[in-house]
Chain A
C-alpha cells in the first residue's frame, strides 16, 4: 500500500523546542530500529535555544540517488526516497557528501547508507511517521494540506529550494511566514543575510530587554 497522496510532511523550525523527542523516537522505527535518522541542529546556542530538526526532504529528483554509482538509492512511486539497498550499496559516501540538506548517514559498521524513509513501514499503512507522531510542539507535522492550513494560519508551506545553481523540489514542506515574499528558499542567500554573531534578530529583540533590565 503506498503512502496516501493526501498525507504530507511539514517541518516548522519556528516551533522546534530542541527536546530531541524526534531523534529518540526515530530509532524506534521498525525499518531502522536502533538507529536514528534525524539530526537536531543547534544553530548558535550562545545566542539562542533555536534548534532545527533535519529530516529527509524527499526530493523529486534526489541528488543522493543521482550521484550514486551503484544505483542503490530508490525513490518509490509515492515519492519516498529510501535508504540504500543493502546488496548494492558500496558505502562510497557520495550521497552523504552530495545531499544539499546533509541527510544521508553512513553506517560504517554495516557498510550501508541509511536515511529517513518517512517511516515507510508506518506511513504506507496509514500511520503517521514516528517523529511527527511524538513531536511535542508539532514542529514536525504529518497530515493533509487542509489540516495544516487550518492549524497554521500564520505560515504556509514551500517545497522549493535553491542551493547555488541547483534548484530542488521536495515532497516534504518547510513552513515559512505567510507573508514572506518567497516561493523558493535560496539557502545560500539566507545564510548571507543571517545576523552577524548568530541569533535570528528575534532573539536579539527579546534579549535586549534582558540586558536593559539587568542593569536597572
Chain B
C-alpha cells in the first residue's frame, strides 16, 4: 500500500545489480568443500546439476553427467544460476516500509517483522472477516512449501483466497487433461519422444524455454521421425523441422479441428481404441464437420497444402508424440486449444504405449508438482477437489480439523487482484509471485496493490511487487533448502540444500509457520523439517489421483527420481500413464483412464477467436514469450550479470514488410500500443515472424514491461490470461530520447 521511495535509493539497496564472478568464484585454485547434487531452479525440466560449495557459498557448478534426464546438459540459466547466491541484492534481514527512509524500507529484526505481519493479519481478519485476507503463492516452490501454503491459507488463515502463479502457466493444459483423462500430468516420460515417428510441437519455443528437450526431439529425428512445428515464429526448433505451420496467434483450436476433420475424412482413425477406450467421439467428430481445409487455412493463416500434409503425416503415423506449451495455453480459449490437441491424440489411439505420447511442457521450476497439492484456489492435496465433500472429509481428517471449517473454493490469481481492487480483499501475503511484472494489464495490478491495507511479501530479493509491501520477510533461495519437485515428465525428484540461508533469512516453511505461531494458531504448523512436511503430504495425497504415498527422500535419491503416482513404498512409480491394463484409484481396473468407467473423454472444443482481434485501429497481433537467458518475471535472472549481458532489454520482433510500411529499420525505437498501454522498445526486423504479428519478451518491469500491453481476458475454465494474442498498433517512436524504451 505504501508509495514506493525514489528509484535511485531503492535501486542502490535492492537492485537489480547484475552479479559477476569474483573472489573464490574466479579463483582456479579454490578447492570446493563439497559438491551437492541437486537441480536447476529455472524451468520445468529441472535438470540435474552439481553445485560446488566453498566457505558456505556456492562458487560454481559441475555438470551432473549421471542424472538421466539431462546427462550434464544445461542451458545458460543453469550454467550461471550459482551467481544468484551471495548476491548484493539478497535480503538478509526483514524490512518494513518506512517513508522516511530513502529506499522506502527500514531493516528490522525478523521476529518484530513477523509479529507486525501477524498483528496486521489478525486486525484485518477481525475487522473485515477471514476472507478479507488473501495469499498469492508460486509454482517454483518445492512441493512441501506449496502444500504448506495451501494448508496455511485454509487452516490457519481460514480464507478461501489463495492462488498461485501457475495460473499464468499451464492451467489450461491441466484443466483439459482433467476433462479428458481425469488426471493432470504429462502422460509420458521424455524417453518416449525418441521412439516416435512423428513429433508434433504446438506453441512451444522449445529451444529457448525447454532447451534440453531439443536433444530429445532431434535425436528422434536422427532415427527418422518427422517433426511438425506450429508457431507464429520460425523459432530455432522450427528452423530444421520437416513441416512448419506458421499459425496466426490464438487460432490453434481451429487448426486441430481442421486436422481432425481430415483424419475423419481419410479414415486415419483408430476405431478400436476410440470404441473401447473413449467416450464422446461422435459429438466431437460432428463438431469439426465444417472445418474443411479451406476454412481452416483461412482461420489459421496456414497454407492449405501444409495443413493437409500435417494431417497426413499425423494420420498415418504408427507412433507419435504431441507436445504443447504456453503458445496454445496462454489463451482465453486455452482449454479448448488443449482439448483440440488431445482430440487428435485420442483419435489416433496413440497414447499409453511406448513411443506414443502426449505432454504439456511445464514451464516453471515445479510447475507440475506446484499444481498438485493444494495451493490452487480449488484444490486439496493429491489433486483432490476442495469442492468435493469426500475429498474435504479425507483431507480435513489428515489435518485434524472438521470438514465444515475448510473454506470453499476461492478465485484465480487475477480475480484475487480484482477483489483487492474492489476492496473485498484488504490484506495480502505473497510468496514466489511477482504479479506486477507477470500479470497482464499491469497498470491495473499496480492500482490494486496500492489499495491494500496491508501487504506482506516473503522474498529472497525485493521484487517489483514486494516494493509495495509493508513487511518483507527474507525467504530462501532454491539452494538454501531441501524438498521435492515434480518435473515436466511427472518425475518427482529431490532438491538438496547446498548452503544455509544468510543472515536472518529463513527457509520459507519456517516463515509461514512463524506467522502461524505469532497468530497463536500454530496447531498443524509445527513441522521441524521439509521431511516432516513430506510425511504428512504422503498421507494427505494417499488414495488421490496424485498419490505420493510411496515416495520418500531416500527412494528419490536412490532411483534418480520416481514418477507419480506411487501409491506404496514398494511401488516402482508410473513413468507412462494410461498403459493398457493399468490400475488407478478412480477406474479401479475398469480401464486405463482416470474416470469411473476407465475411458478417456472426447470433450467438444468450441472454436472461438482471441478476445481481441485486430481491427483498423489496432491492426496487428501482439504475442509475448520468453528468451533463453531469462526466467519468468526476471526476478532472479535480471540480477545475474552474464544472463543480463546475453539479453539486456526487451525488443519488438517485426516482419520486414510490416516494418517497411511503418518506416521502421532494424534498431529503430518503436512504440507498441494497445487499449491498455504503450511501450517503446527497439525493433528487430526479422523474416522469421508472421507479417501480421509482433513479438515482445516479457521478463522486464516498469516501462519495459510487455504486460503493460497485454489483455487480462481469461479462459472461462482455467482462468489463464491471454498473453499470446491481443490487438496492437506500432509506430516509430517520437523523439530520439525514446530509443531503447527507457
Instruction: List chain A residues, Cβ under 8 A from B690.
Output: 210, 213-214
Instruction: List chain B residues, Cβ under 8 A from A21.
Output: 73-76, 78-79, 211
Interface residues of B in 484-534 (CB under 8 A from A): none
Given contacts A134-B79, A213-B297, A216-B297, contact A207 B303 (CB under 8 A): no
Min distance, Cβ B714 to any Cβ of chain A, angstroms: 28
- Do the beta carbons of B302 and A24 come within 8 Å of each other? no
Q: A47 vs B685: C-alpha distance in the bound complex, in angstroms?
A: 9
- Do the beta carbons of A14 and B240 come within 8 Å of each other? yes
The answer to whether the Cβ of A8 comes within 8 Å of any Cβ in the partner chain is no
The answer to whether the Cβ of B271 comes within 8 Å of any Cβ in the partner chain is no
The answer to whether the Cβ of B447 comes within 8 Å of any Cβ in the partner chain is no
Min distance, Cβ A68 to any Cβ of chain B, angstroms: 25
Given contacts A24-B646, A133-B63, contact A212 B240 (CB under 8 A): no
Q: Which of B60, B688, B692 contacts A49 (CB 8 A)?
A: B688
The answer to whether the Cβ of B235 comes within 8 Å of any Cβ in the partner chain is yes
Complex interface bits, A181-197 against B, C-beta within 8 A gives 1, otherwise 0: 00000000000000000
The answer to whether the Cβ of B464 comes within 8 Å of any Cβ in the partner chain is no
Q: A204 vs B297: C-alpha distance in the bound complex, in angstroms?
A: 20
Q: A128 vs B74: C-alpha distance in the bound complex, in angstroms?
A: 14
The answer to whether the Cβ of B61 comes within 8 Å of any Cβ in the partner chain is yes
Instruction: List chain A residues, Cβ under 8 A from B235.
Output: 49
Instruction: List chain A residues, Cβ under 8 A from B303.
Output: 209, 212-213, 216
Min distance, Cβ A56 to any Cβ of chain B, angstroms: 20
Please name the residue on chain A nearest to B211 by beta carbon.
Answer: A136
The answer to whether the Cβ of A109 comes within 8 Å of any Cβ in the partner chain is no
Instruction: List chain B residues, Cβ under 8 A from A107.
Output: none
- Do the beta carbons of B79 and A45 come within 8 Å of each other? no
Complex interface bits, B277-319 against A, C-beta within 8 A gives 1, otherwise 0: 0000000000000000000011011111010000000000000
Given contacts A19-B211, A30-B28, A151-B222, contact A24 B76 (CB under 8 A): yes
- Do the beta carbons of B74 and A49 come within 8 Å of each other? no
Please name the residue on chain B nearest to A40 by beta carbon.
Answer: B646
Complex interface bits, B222-246 against A, C-beta within 8 A gives 1, otherwise 0: 1100000000001111111100111
- Do the beta carbons of A34 and B21 come within 8 Å of each other? yes
The answer to whether the Cβ of A135 comes within 8 Å of any Cβ in the partner chain is yes
The answer to whether the Cβ of B642 comes within 8 Å of any Cβ in the partner chain is yes
Given contacts A136-B74, A138-B215, A216-B297, contact A20 B646 (CB under 8 A): yes
- Do the beta carbons of A48 and B301 come within 8 Å of each other? no
Instruction: List chain A residues, Cβ under 8 A from B207.
Output: 17-19, 136-137
Min distance, Cβ B580 to any Cβ of chain A, angstroms: 31
Instruction: List chain B residues, Cβ under 8 A from A154.
Output: 222
The answer to whether the Cβ of A159 comes within 8 Å of any Cβ in the partner chain is no
Instruction: List chain A residues, Cβ under 8 A from B304.
Output: 216
Complex interface bits, A34-54 against B, C-beta within 8 A gives 1, otherwise 0: 100000000001111111000
Min distance, Cβ A176 to any Cβ of chain B, angstroms: 14
Most buried by A among B223, B297, B643, B688: B688
Q: A45 vs B654: C-alpha distance in the bound complex, in angstroms?
A: 12
Instruction: List chain A residues, Cβ under 8 A from B26.
Output: 33-34
Q: Which of A24, A50, A209 contacts B306 (CB 8 A)?
A: A209
- Do the beta carbons of B215 and A134 come within 8 Å of each other? no
The answer to whether the Cβ of A203 comes within 8 Å of any Cβ in the partner chain is yes
The answer to whether the Cβ of B629 comes within 8 Å of any Cβ in the partner chain is yes
Q: A18 vs B79: C-alpha distance in the bound complex, in angstroms?
A: 15
Q: A152 vs B222: C-alpha distance in the bound complex, in angstroms?
A: 6
Interface residues of A in 81-136 (CB under 8 A from B): 128, 130, 133-136
The answer to whether the Cβ of B686 comes within 8 Å of any Cβ in the partner chain is yes
- Do the beta carbons of B211 and A17 come within 8 Å of each other? yes
- Do the beta carbons of A203 and B234 come within 8 Å of each other? yes
Given contacts A45-B684, A136-B73, A216-B303, contact A206 B239 (CB under 8 A): yes
Q: A206 vs B237: C-alpha distance in the bound complex, in angstroms?
A: 12
- Do the beta carbons of B692 and A50 come within 8 Å of each other? no
- Do the beta carbons of A207 and B687 come within 8 Å of each other? yes
The answer to whether the Cβ of A153 comes within 8 Å of any Cβ in the partner chain is yes
Instruction: List chain A residues, Cβ under 8 A from B208.
Output: 17, 19
Complex interface bits, B663-700 against A, C-beta within 8 A gives 1, otherwise 0: 00010000000000000000011111011100000000
Given contacts A25-B79, A28-B60, A216-B304, 7 further A-B contacts (CB under 8 A): A21-B79, A27-B21, A28-B79, A133-B73, A136-B211, A216-B297, A216-B298
Q: List 28 A-B contacts (CB under 8 A).
A: A15-B240, A17-B207, A17-B236, A17-B237, A19-B76, A19-B211, A21-B74, A21-B211, A24-B76, A24-B646, A27-B21, A45-B684, A48-B239, A49-B234, A49-B239, A128-B72, A135-B73, A136-B75, A136-B207, A138-B218, A154-B222, A203-B239, A207-B688, A209-B306, A210-B234, A211-B691, A213-B301, A213-B303
Q: 5 tightest CB-CB pairs across the interface, nearest first?
A: A210-B246, A17-B207, A136-B211, A17-B236, A133-B63
